[in-house]
Amino acid sequence: MKLQSSEGLMDKTLWTDTVEHLLNQTASANPTPGGGSISMVSAAFGLGLVIMALEVSNRRKNAPDGLSPLINEGRKILDAVRVSADADIDVFNTFMSALSLPKSTEEEKAQRKQAIQYATVKATEVPLSSARLCVAALDVATQAADIAHSNILSDVATGTLLLVAAGRGVLLNVDANLGSLRDRTLAEEYSQERTAQEVEFQKRASLVQQRLDARR
């Protein structure tokens, strides 16, 4: 995958960066990594905190049943979250490539418009997919709020906050692209899913809070 850096384009994934380099890239004039990919990096760390709470709980004597399957489920989602952070950069690069296509002739203009629309659809679908992953991760957090050890529930709470913020962050990318979709039926379908996903974030965040409060 191509990432823009101060040294130029390079083949890499976000996940081979040091934290310092990733932060420096984010705080630079380069357009990537942007809000979508950094949101999913945040989601990965949020889910990571939830998994950590489960792992620590699972090491204790008389650990409750269900921890190991939930940990495995969380790690599968975490793998997908990692991929989604890179996917956001991929679709951005695809969109920029479409914008750079020649437009000297009518045929070139038509091909460029088609490429831009294709890239816009992908740039809307990827953050919607990322939002679904945040919902799945929040489902893990919801269960963790019930069975993680009481001494480590603050990490479940922190992870939940990061996941909700990440989900809302990727939905901003959906919002940014909806108006550019020429297929208005598809745009309306995406808009409805976008709204539904945000409702799901709030439902799960509230449920986690209720379960944590009940254990205090």
Q: pLDDT by residue (tens digit) across 182-194?
A: 999 999 999 999 9
Provide the 3-class DSSP secondary structure of residue 177.
helix
Q: Is residue 12 part of a domain?
A: no
Q: Which amino acid is at 169?
A: G
pLDDT of 4 above 70:
no
Which candidate, 11, 35, 53, places its Cα nearest to that of 144?
A: 53
Q: Which CATH number covers residue 185?
A: 1.20.120.680
Q: Percent of the chain beyond pLDDT 70?
A: 95
Q: Kindly indicate the confidence band of residue 11, based on its pLDDT and cuts at 50, 70 and 90.
A: low
Q: Is residue 3 part of a domain?
A: no
Between CA 37 and CA 117 the distance in angstroms is 21
Total tally of structural domains belonging to the chain? 1
Q: Is residue 13 part of a domain?
A: no
Between CA 126 and CA 130 the distance in angstroms is 6
Q: Is residue 66 part of a domain?
A: yes
Q: Is residue 11 part of a domain?
A: no
Range of the domain at 163: 35-214
Provide the 3-class DSSP secondary structure of residue 31.
coil
Q: pLDDT by residue (tens digit) across 42-92?
A: 999 999 999 999 999 999 988 888 899 999 999 999 999 999 999 999 999
